[in-house]
């Protein structure tokens, strides 16, 4: 059938790149669970040789995610961290990267404990201020790496403004779009060069697969990253590719419900006597609310909030019943996480405290459950 002739996100998400498998007409794109492919003779192939290099199911999910981000190409990896690592391999010793100071602990770990050993220099700064970024630019600065909203403090960076600065200095702009997904935010259209996703999260949506994606437009970078992807081999397996394809079909429906729930929960938390501060970009008073509103079509479903004491943290995590105390985010189930000892444990304590990742902070990934049940569960846990 070829590419679906439509521009609307929802239809692209439901039908994927192909709409159906052309050979059999299968509506659910087949899982090509094969490591190798037969040749009819010398120089007579099907376009597939070995699944590390290319697999039909992985090709379908790559083309689908590229279409959703309005990118020229997408590369699929075995995890979000594998995707980030692949991108970082395009840099060499002596290169300098400016990075959001508030970011996922695993990303901080890979910068500090892996790529530092290869001589890549990293400066962390508050990227919500373009002036801060400009101050950190050097002759050897090769990239600016953003999370927006950041994890877990929900800080918002103006992608358009940073992209202008990056282009002026011939610097790549890399944006982790995991929290927002291409349904709400398209960084390539805002000027980014490379977009990253932990596909494990919202793209999958069911907490049953690990995946990572890199989306980009520049042919030179595409060729370089494809070579790295094939050479290193941390590729997305056929079955996981199929799980992500299945999850993407309902991405827009899930996110709309999750965001609707998140807005109600954020407003409930604002009024609770044991909550000292709520961080949710959908609240008008949230710093960066207007920037995100101008660059995205939604605010997402991630909430972070501070409670009045560490004792309250412990009571909440031990008392929630509907909400699950677990790491990760973006699934249909609501998950609550303690960044201080979980997702951000690898960040030094002094940096965590300076940023505000304290022992009173909780991160909440809002699911698709009935919002009244979620609020009731939170209220009971806070009163425990």
Catalytic residue among 176, 193, 240, 377: 176
For 192-226, what is each residue's pLDDT tens digit?
999 999 999 999 999 999 999 999 999 999 999 99
Ranges of the chain with pLDDT below 70: 1-6
Q: Which domains does the chain have, with CATH numbers?
A: 9-248 (3.40.640.10), 251-383 (3.90.1150.10)
Cα 184 to chain centroid, rounded: 12
| pLDDT of res. 1 | 41
For residue 201, indicate whether it is catalytic: yes
Which residue, among 154, 153, 171, 131, has the nearest Cα to 282 in the 3D structure?
154
Q: What is the rounded (10 degree) CA torsion for 255, 88, 165, 138? A: 150
Nearest-10 crossing angle of helices 219-232, 80-88: 120
| pLDDT of res. 5 | 61
For residue 155, indicate whether it is catalytic: no
For 347-359, what is each residue's pLDDT tens digit?
888 888 889 999 9
| pLDDT of res. 370 | 98
Reading the block at residue 169, the tokens are 């200095």
Distance (Å, whole) CA 17 – CA 114: 36
Which helix (DSSP H) or strand (DSSP E) does residue 363 occupy? strand 361-365
**DSSP state for residue 302 in the 8-state scheme:** E
For residue 52, indicate whether it is catalytic: yes
* 137 contacts 168 by C-beta, under 8 angstroms: no
**DSSP state for residue 24 in the 8-state scheme:** T
Tell me how many degrees the CA angle 229-230-235 measures, rounded to the nearest 5: 60
């Amino acid at each position: 059938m070829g590419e679906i002739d439509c521009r609307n996100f929802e239809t692209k998400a439901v039908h994927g790149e192909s709409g159906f498998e052309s050979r059999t007409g299968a509506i659910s794109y087949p899982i090509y669970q094969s490591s190798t492919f037969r040749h009819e003779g010398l120089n007579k192939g099907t376009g597939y040789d070995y699944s590390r290099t290319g697999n039909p199911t992985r090709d379908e999910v790559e083309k689908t995610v590229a279409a959703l981000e309005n990118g020229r190409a997408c590369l699929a990896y075995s995890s979000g961290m594998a995707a980030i690592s692949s991108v970082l391999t395009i840099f060499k010793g002596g290169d300098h990267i400016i990075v959001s100071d508030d970011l996922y602990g695993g990303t901080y770990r890979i910068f500090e404990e892996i790529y530092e050993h290869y001589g890549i220099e990293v400066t962390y700064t508050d990227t919500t201020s373009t002036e801060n970024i400009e101050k950190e630019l050097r002759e050897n600065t090769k990239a600016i790496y953003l999370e927006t909203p950041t994890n877990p403090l929900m800080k918002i960076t103006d992608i358009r403004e940073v992209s202008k600065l990056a282009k002026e200095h011939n610097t790549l702009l890399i944006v982790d779009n995991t929290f927002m997904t291409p349904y709400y935010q398209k960084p390539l259209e805002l000027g980014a060069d490379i977009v990253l996703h932990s596909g494990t999260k919202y793209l999958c949506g069911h907490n049953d697969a690990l995946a990572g994606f890199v989306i980009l437009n520049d042919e030179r970078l595409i060729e370089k990253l494809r070579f790295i992807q094939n050479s290193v081999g941390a590729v997305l397996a056929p079955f996981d590719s199929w799980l992500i394809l299945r999850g993407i079909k309902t991405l827009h429906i899930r996110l709309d419900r999750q965001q609707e729930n998140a807005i109600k929960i954020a407003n409930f938390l604002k009024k609770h006597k044991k909550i000292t501060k709520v961080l949710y970009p959908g609240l008008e008073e949230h710093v960066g609310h207007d920037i995100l509103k101008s660059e995205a079509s939604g605010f997402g479903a991630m909430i972070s909030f501070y409670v009045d004491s560490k004792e309250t943290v412990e009571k909440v995590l031990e008392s929630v019943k509907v909400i699950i105390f677990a790491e990760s985010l973006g699934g249909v189930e609501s998950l609550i996480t303690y960044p201080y000892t979980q997702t951000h444990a690898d960040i030094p304590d002094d940096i965590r405290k300076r940023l505000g990742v304290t022992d009173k902070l909780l991160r909440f990934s809002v699911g698709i459950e009935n919002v009244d049940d979620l609020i009731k569960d939170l209220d009971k846990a806070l009163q425990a």
